[in-house]
Amino acid sequence: MSSSPPAPGPRPALPPPPTAGVSRRGLLRYGMAGAGTALLASGALAGCASPAASSDASALKVWDLFQGGDGILMNDMIKAVSTARDGFAVDRTILDWGPSYYTKLAMSAAGGRASDVAVLHLSRLAGYAPGGLLDAFDLDLLAEFGCAEADFTPAVWKRTQYEGAVYAIPLDVHPFIVFYDQDAADKAGLLDSAGELAPMGSPEALLDAGKALAKATGGSGILFGHVTDTAQCWRQFAAFYAQTGAEFTLPEGGPAEIDVDAAVRVVTFMQRLFDGRTNPNNLDYYGAMAAFLDGRGGMVMLGEWELPALRESGIRLGAAPFPQVFERPAVYTDSHSFVLPHQADPDPARRREAHRYVARMLKQSLTWASAGHIPAYQPVLARPEYAKLRPQSSYADAGKVAVLDPPNWFTGAASNFQNRMCQPLQAALLGNTSAEKAVRQMVREADTLLRQPNPVA
């Protein structure tokens, strides 16, 4: 893919770049994941590496948590923006995904060792911006480089702000969606005239779809892996709950504000949907994946990030936004976003380069979309090349109705909040507790977290 055209405005007084580099620390992180992964990383990324970039003090230091296929795509994007006529020197550090990444990001910002740019799940912003761990973006500067608020869907953009300032610039929207076997869905009569999954519109319609898919496959209808998982049940509940129009808010100090009747209605429906007969109720994440790949189910509820693995299966694969069955459309999502970790005395030239780098990376996000992620930068989403990506373009509208975790310092990706919400939900799906008791336990867990002090406040 060609690089973006040069942005207007004078270029800051930084030396011209070589190519993008993956730092030694980043490669060591790959090595810790196993020899095979290390070989994959070094072989695939060596063409982008440059000792000069890694050692050049003027290089932009960027942190992210992308390994495997996403890590390679990110490096492709960095290479594209670095080798352009007015490119960048980039020192990229890849850290392990999970709570440890967020701990290290906070410590680096608090201790004055922050990178110039980092990646943050947008759902985690409330734990970072209020505590002074991030610096705000200069929207005028971003606009100079071709990125403005109007370039992002409002459903996601509204979560980038704290006290009137913007602290995150979304790279993508990555929703919880459904993948389906097109042949099974066609046989079950679930496709519209364009060959896409037809809207459901009601709880009964989704229940009927599961029965029709089970008949078409001779196995299960809808697959969902949740056993021992720390996020899956919450993703599904959050999507259905938002579709009722109810809100789940977590005001500082508590108590949690939740529509108990709506929540019980949702959990009761989840129990009916995953009844243990038409649709299994006892699968773990990889069990659901394996059953779908083996043709033992017609549909599976997963994050879009599983697209690369599913596409290799040979299944005639379709995908769609999470089905709307209650009163309004809503899809549970998160967003990988660029942030500026706090620096006590940022150099204006480096900060300008950081803004220019973020704008250029957004314009490369068609590459990122190949893995399934929806570009947050709408000009890329509107390109004809994106419309040709299948099945990605089939669920692109999920970004317009995105719902993230309720904001608080303890919520978001890889958080204990999601884990604590999942435990009573898992018990309900397994038949070990009632919907009413599950919801009451969710409220108690939320109230417990709200009583804990914010460690960075």
Q: What is the pLDDT of residue 23?
A: 41
Please say if the pLDDT value at position 227 is more than 70. Answer: yes
Task: Say whether the peptide bond before residue 251 is cis (omega within 30 degrees of 0).
Answer: no
Q: What is the mean pLDDT of residues 195-212?
A: 98
- 111 SS3 class: coil
- 338 pLDDT band, cuts 50/70/90, is very high
| Distance between CA atoms of residues 65 and 56, nearest Å | 22
Q: What is the pLDDT of residue 425?
A: 98
Tens digits of residue pLDDT in 290-300: 999 999 999 99
| Distance between CA atoms of residues 247 and 256, nearest Å | 11
Please say if the pLDDT value at position 55 is more than 60. Answer: no
Q: What is the pLDDT of residue 455?
A: 87
Following CA atoms 267, 269, 270, 273 in sequence, which dihedral angle do they give, to the nearest 10 degrees? 170
On whether the CB atoms of residues 364 and 77 are closer than 8 A, the answer is: yes
Domains and CATH numbers, the chain: 21-171+335-395 (3.40.190.10), 175-332+415-450 (3.40.190.10)
Q: What is the pLDDT of residue 393?
A: 98
Q: What is the mean pLDDT of residues 327-341?
A: 98
Q: Which of 57-61, 82-86, 359-363, 428-432 has the lowest mean pLDDT?
A: 57-61
Please say if the pLDDT value at position 41 is more than 60. Answer: no
